[in-house]
Amino acid sequence: MKPVIPVVAIASLAACLTPAFAAGHKTRPAAASASSLFTPRAVKSYGTVTVNGRKIAYEAVAGTLIVHPGNWDDAATPATGKHALGMPDGPPAASMFYVAYFQRGVPAQDRPITFLYNGGPGSSSVWLHMGAYGPVRVVTNSNTHTPPAPYRLVNNQYSLLDASDLVFIDAPGTGYSRIEGKGKDKAFYGVDQDADAFASFIMQFLSRFHRWNSPKYLYGESYGTPRSAALIYDLEVNDDVDFNGVIMQSQILNFDLSADDPQHNPGIELPYEIALPSMAATAWYHHVLPAEPAHLRPFLKKVERFAMGSYADALAQGAVLPRAQERSIAERMHQYTGLPIPYLLKANLQVSGLMFEHELLNSHDETTGRLDTRFAGPSIDPLNEHAQYDPQAAAISSAYVAAFNTYVTADLHYKTDLAYLPEINIPDWQMKHRPPNASMKLPIDVNVMPDLAYAMKYDPDLKIMLNGGYFDLATPFYEGWYEMHHLQIPRSLDKNIQYHYYKSGHMIYVRVADLKKLHANVVAFIRQTDNLGGRS
């Protein structure tokens, strides 16, 4: 494969988007032998799903493909013994697990194909698979803690199989994917390395399943969105593989904009400004505003204007901000967020996402969610400054993991001694990145906006779809809007970008009413861009 895309550096992984605040899941020793684990595998099964009253028969394939780093020589003679593939002293390799669904009885060239993945970095695709678009869906509560097992799996009437074949991909080291070999972490755990692995997987998949001439889409959620930006540049520019569209959900392309810990990057005020509308939406939802507006969207438009106007001007003045103006801004922020004026003044008008999640309902000893601020749970320590866990992740994760472990064996008939790892902790993820045309990997926070912009200019037919939740403080919805409106593209390409927003959080599909809207919007996007003239 040709060299992978350049990428950028980040000061901390606080912005990385695994369901947060957990120590991470440690990989258990694999019972499978190295030779079997690093041999491609495919298990077929069959089923039907009913979407909008239409029954769709499909073939499912659960399996693995073997991926190598970008400098791999595929013509080299395989080593043996302790230096063989899949051995600790052998070359680094990844066995990447996937589940693919193909509608039966339709020629491949007449079916779009969508590659889906979650983020982290260090997350499997279990969330999109079991919560949004697979043929079955796990039932969870929309905004409160889901009771323990037994959990319900139901026919997913919002599966994307009505518009596209689907491939859910587990990133290296997550789910049933595994990495092995000398220098394996360095070979796969980084922005560029990750994009390279996914590009290699996708091209292998297109060949193995004869899908080169199908309309093609990327669908990334959370860290899956910067992955998509780096990946689409790699595929289109380096590998000559054009895609019809890139679907972004809960976007973050510039890590300088993360609302988690902006205090560690003083002088960069944008994170506070673009998070303010999500904080206002959260305060509106929990009924803590001094004067509650009747409708959310007009209220947020007003907050957006304040955030990028008077508030931005005040933050830009720093220590020379007059006291009277500081007080006036704090009073406005109180009206928009419900936070006490003395707290806002003590914080110098700078409230991070983690501070807000801890403080908003602190009088009730409750913490709001980070991924979805509609959720709330008991504070671990009411006297702390920051939220110490995410009530949304705590509320639904067990249901997703139990549902997948049940489904993969009972329905997909995929048997393995490996443990399914929904998330792994990767403390040494390499966040350095060299953007297109840069001479080196840059010593700044990761920003893959240049990669996406380059891909859009390289292929002016490429279409982008952005989906955001109002109640998301991991990747605030206004952050994605801001990024897309600051891409280095000609204005003639602005029309290639769609924007959709929902009264949900990071995982938009947790709220069924918004899963319905999301499904309809994504189906419309695919059908508008698949070049099939209504044949799909």
Kindly tell me if the per-residue pLDDT of 39 is higher than 60.
yes
186 and 304 share one domain: no
Question: Model confidence over 328-342: pLDDT tens digits?
Answer: 999 999 999 999 999
C-alpha span between 451 and 228 (Å, rounded): 9
pLDDT-wise least confident of 11-15, 35-39, 456-460: 11-15
Q: What is the DSSP string of 119-156?
A: -TTTB-SHHHIIIIISSEEE---SSSPPP-SSPPEEE-
- In the predicted model, what is the mean pLDDT of residues 247-260? 95
Residue 536 lies in a domain: no
218 and 277 share one domain: no
Angle at 368 between CA 128 and CA 9, to 5 degrees: 60
Question: Model confidence over 502-530: pLDDT tens digits?
Answer: 999 999 999 999 999 999 999 999 999 99
169 and 103 share one domain: yes
Are 476 and 259 in contact by the 8 Å Cβ rule? The answer is yes
66 and 213 share one domain: yes
Residue 375 lies in a domain: yes
Query: Among 362, 392, 422, where does a domain finish?
Result: 392
pLDDT-wise least confident of 252-266, 296-310, 481-495: 252-266
Beta strand 41-51 pairing with 54-67? antiparallel
Kindly tell me if the per-residue pLDDT of 15 is higher than 50.
no
Query: Among 392, 417, 441, where does a domain finish?
Result: 392
Kindly tell me if the per-residue pLDDT of 1 is higher than 80.
no
Q: Which of 518, 483, 487, 482 is nearest to 500 (CA)?
A: 518
Residue 70 lies in a domain: yes
Length of the chain: 536
C-alpha span between 45 and 60 (Å, rounded): 5
CATH number at residue 84: 3.40.50.1820
Confidence grade of residue 391 (pLDDT, cut at 50, 70, 90): confident
Question: Model confidence over 286-331: pLDDT tens digits?
Answer: 999 999 999 999 999 999 999 999 999 999 999 999 999 999 999 9
C-alpha span between 268 and 273 (Å, rounded): 10
231 and 380 share one domain: no
508 and 370 share one domain: no
**Which amino acid is located at 308 in the chain?**
M
Kindly tell me if the per-residue pLDDT of 486 is higher than 60.
yes
Q: State the pLDDT at residue 443.
A: 63
Confidence grade of residue 13 (pLDDT, cut at 50, 70, 90): very low
Please give, one letter per residue, the 3-state secondary structure of 74-111.
Answer: CCCCCCCHHHCCCCCCCCCEEEEEEEEEEECCCCHHHC
Kindly tell me if the per-residue pLDDT of 374 is higher than 80.
yes
Residue 2 lies in a domain: no
Kindly tell me if the per-residue pLDDT of 237 is higher than 60.
yes
Q: Which of 246, 184, 138 is nearest to 498 (CA)?
A: 246
Are 277 and 477 in contact by the 8 Å Cβ rule? The answer is yes
Beta strand 245-249 pairing with 216-221? parallel
pLDDT-wise least confident of 30-34, 308-312, 313-317, 349-353: 30-34
| Beta bridge partner(s), residue 219 | 116, 247
Domain count, the chain: 2
Confidence grade of residue 35 (pLDDT, cut at 50, 70, 90): low
490 and 381 share one domain: no
239 and 296 share one domain: no
201 and 345 share one domain: no
Residue 24 lies in a domain: no
Angle at 365 between CA 472 and CA 507, to 5 degrees: 20
Q: 169 or 427: which carries more pLDDT confidence?
A: 169
Q: How many CB atoms lie within 10 A of CB 141?
A: 13
Kindly tell me if the per-residue pLDDT of 3 is higher than 70.
no
Range of the domain at 329: 267-392
226 and 286 share one domain: no
Kindly tell me if the per-residue pLDDT of 28 is higher than 50.
no
Region label for 21, one of left (φ > 0), alpha (ψ between -120 and 50) or beta (otherwise): left
Question: Model confidence over 148-180: pLDDT tens digits?
Answer: 999 999 999 999 999 999 999 999 999 999 999
| pTM across the whole model | 0.92
380 and 458 share one domain: no
In the chain, the percentage of residues whose pLDDT exceeds 90 is 80
C-alpha span between 266 and 268 (Å, rounded): 5
Query: Among 347, 373, 392, where does a domain finish?
Result: 392
